[in-house]
Structure 1
């Protein structure tokens, strides 16, 4: 049982250091402050707005007469 626990701790430590190296903890406050941004801001609108090409593929074709 002890080897399994040591293996589990080793995997957890490896995953933690991988997350730190890959930048998972670089910006901890950004998502918390993003709710305060104005929705009418053009930069926010551009980031949220879907691409025109993606919007066209979601629509059904017009019915044939």
Structure 2
């Protein structure tokens, strides 16, 4: 088994960062779409955030399944 370095342990313990970043990116893209369509309900922003978070969660789950801490 591989012994993780301090940096690797910190990266693993930062679970959720990818999901947060992807959600923020999706919300930003959705906000642009809302602005173009003059949509004050923020429906595209909310949908983009949810989509981004789910994509981020999938990536995090994949990374977690590939890195094991013993």
Query: Normalising by the residue count of structure 2, what TM-score does the alignment of the two structures yield?
Result: 0.33
The two structures have a TM-score, normalised by structure 1, of: 0.35
Bigger helix share: 2
Q: Which has the higher Rg, Structure 1 or Structure 2?
A: 1
